[in-house]
Amino acid sequence: MKPSIVFLIAFLSVLPLRGQSEERPPNIVIIMADDLGWNGLGCYGSELAQTPCLDQLAAEGMRFTDAYALSQCLPTRAAIFSGQYGARTGLTSVETSSPGYAPMISPGRPKALEPEVYTLFEMLRDAGYKTGMSGKLHLGGPLNTNSALKNKNRGMEYLHDYGLQWAGTATPNRNDKNVSAITDDIIEFIEENRDGPFIAYAAHRSPHMPLEVPPSSVQRAVDRGFKRSSNPRGLFSERVTADYVAMIEYLDSSIGRITDKLDELGIAENTLLLFLSDNGGLTRVWKNDPLRGGKGQLYEGGVRVPFIVRWPTKVKAGSTCTAPVHVVDLFPTFMDLAGAQPRKDQILDGVSLVPLLKQTGSFARDAIFSHHPEYVVGYAKTPCSMVRKGNYKLIHYFGDYLDPTGCVPGGAGALYGRFILGSRTELYDLKQDPGETQNLANDMPQVAEELMADLESWWSSTGARMPMPNPNMDRSKWKWNKND
C-alpha cells in the first residue's frame, strides 16, 4: 500500500476521536421565583420557610450573596431576554404613566420588549439549542405562555419572535399558582430534548400575591405555629403567615422534581441549573431583614435576590460568590457557554459569569446600575436611579422622596411614608451597612460625586428616559398617608 494512502486512512480514523473529545455545551435550566426575597431560603438564613431542595442545590453548587435584579417583574424579565438594562430598552417598570398631579412626569415606556431585540433565546436557538419555557412571560404583551398560545391572531408566532421554539400551557391550576403545571411542562420539554443541548425556562408566579397554595401545605406550616392569613392579598399586621410560608415550601418541592428528572435521565452532570427571583420580597407579607425595603424599591431588599447555580462538572460544590452580579449577565454568560457570538450591532450590558462559576480568570465588572423613572405608588417608590460600585451604593431621587421610617402599610395596596419634596442623593457602604441605615452622602462627598458622575455617564450611554418636573403638580392631591 502506498504511504500516502496509509496516511489518509490513519488521518480519517482519528477524526471521530477528535470530535468525541470536544466539549459539549451544557444544557441550561432556569427556574425563576416571583417576589421571593433574598433571605427567603434556608441557605440564605431563613428560619421561617423550610427549603430542603434549594438548600441542597446550594450545597451542590454556588450561592451568590450579592446578585441583583430590577425591582419589579417585567423589567427583570426583559433584562434577561435582552441582556440589556431597562434604561436601554425603556422597560424600567410595570407602570406606564405617572399620576397627573405628581411632582415629576415620568417619561413612559414602550408597550413591550421590541421584537427586533435579539434575545437570549434567539441566540441560543441559533447556536443549536432547543428553546422552551412555561409560565410567566411578562414582557409587556401576554402575561404568560398560556395567554400567548391562546392569542387568535399570532399564538406561537408571538413566542417565536422572542426565540422560543416550544411553550407549555402552564395549566391546569391545581390551587397552587400553576407551580405543578409549570413543572410538568418543563419536565416534558426536558424529556423530549434530553439529547440536548436545550434551555428550559420555568417562570413561576409564586410566591407572588394573591396567596394560593394547597391546604395541606398550609396545614403543615400551621402545625409549626404559623397563623393562617385572613386576606388573600396579605396583611402587614399578619406577616409572616402560614399561607405565605407554604407557598415558598411548595415551590421548593417542585425544584426537587426537576433535579430528580435530570438525574433519572443521566444528564445532570452537563446541565447548568440556575435558580433566582425576579425581585425582592413584598414587605406587606415578608420581612427582608436585615436588608432595607422590598419589591418596587431600589434599596437592597427590593433588588438583591437569591441566585444559585449548580453545574456538577464545572461549579465547585458548596461554594459561595460575593462578587456583585446582575441578571443582565445571563446573556453573555450563556453566549460564552454556547460558543456563540453577538450580532455586530448588538449591545450587551452584562459580563460573562463563567470566570466566577469556574473560579478561573478575571471577572471584569465595574459597576451595577438601575433606572426607575416612574412612580410605583403601591410600593412607595418615586422616580430614582442607583449605582453600585465596589462596596458603595448611591441612590438618586429626581424630584421627591418617600421616607418610610416609622410608617408601615396597613393593608393590601396601602400607602405609607413621609413625603419629602425635592431631589435627594443617598450613599451607603454595603459592606459595613447592608441594611442601608446610614446615609454617607454628606460625610463622603467625593465618593458621592464620583458615583453620581458614573450614573450620569451611564444615563447618557444608554439613552435613559428621564423624568421631568411637572408644572401641574397639585400638592393637595399628592397624599401618601393620612399624616400628609
For 246-283, what is each residue's pLDDT tens digit?
A: 999 999 999 999 999 999 999 999 999 999 999 999 98
Query: Considering Cα of 289, then 293, then 295, then 297, what sign does the dihedral take?
Result: negative
Each residue of 198-231: pLDDT tens digit?
999 999 999 999 999 999 999 999 999 999 999 9
Residue 460 burial (CB < 10 Å; 0-12/13-18/19+)?
exposed
Sequential DSSP letters for 369-399: EEEE-S-BGGGTB-SEEEEEETTEEEEEESS
The predicted structure's pLDDT at residue 413: 42
Neighbours of 223 (CB within 10 A): 9
**Is residue 69 scored above 70 in pLDDT?**
yes
What type of residue sits at position 396?
H
**Is residue 465 scored above 60 in pLDDT?**
yes
- Which run of H or E residues covers position 263? helix 242-265
Reported as a pLDDT band with limits 50, 70 and 90, residue 101 is confident
Q: Which of 203-207, 294-298, 395-399, 473-477 is least confident?
A: 473-477
The predicted structure's pLDDT at residue 22: 58
Contact 417, 404 (CB under 8 A): yes
> What is the C-alpha separation between 169 and 167, in angstroms, rounded?
7
Reported as a pLDDT band with limits 50, 70 and 90, residue 323 is very high
The predicted structure's pLDDT at residue 11: 40
The predicted structure's pLDDT at residue 450: 98
Report which of 244, 250, 253 is spatially closest to residue 283, judged by C-alpha positions: 244
Mean pLDDT, to the nearest integer, of 123-129? 97
Reported as a pLDDT band with limits 50, 70 and 90, residue 153 is low
Mean pLDDT, to the nearest integer, of 24-34? 97
Place of cell 477524526: 15
Report which of 66, 67, 62 is spatially closest to residue 431, judged by C-alpha positions: 66
Contact 355, 362 (CB under 8 A): yes
**Is residue 406 scored above 80 in pLDDT?**
no
Mean pLDDT, to the nearest integer, of 422-447? 96
Query: Considering Cα of 218, then 219, then 220, then 224, what sign does the dihedral take?
Result: positive
**Is residue 479 scored above 80 in pLDDT?**
no
| Angle, CA 346 vertex, CA 326 and CA 356 arms, to 5° | 30
Q: Where in the chain is the domain with CATH 3.40.720.10?
A: 23-366
More confident site: 19 or 151: 151
Written as nine digits, the cell of 49 is 420557610
**Is residue 5 scored above 60 in pLDDT?**
no
Reported as a pLDDT band with limits 50, 70 and 90, residue 418 is confident
Strand 424-429 relative to strand 304-310, pairing: unpaired
> What is the C-alpha separation between 48 and 40, in angstroms, rounded?
8
Residue 95 burial (CB < 10 Å; 0-12/13-18/19+)?
buried
**Is residue 364 scored above 60 in pLDDT?**
yes
DSSP assigned state of 434: T
- CATH assignment of 23-366, given 3.40.50.10490, 3.40.720.10, 3.30.460.10, 3.65.10.10? 3.40.720.10
Greatest CA span in the chain, whole angstroms? 99
Q: Where in the chain is the domain with CATH 3.30.1120.10?
A: 371-469
- CATH assignment of 371-469, given 3.40.1440.60, 3.30.1120.80, 3.30.1120.10, 3.30.420.40? 3.30.1120.10
Neighbours of 48 (CB within 10 A): 18
The predicted structure's pLDDT at residue 4: 45
Mean pLDDT, to the nearest integer, of 342-347? 89
The predicted structure's pLDDT at residue 149: 87
Which pTM does this prediction carry? Answer: 0.92
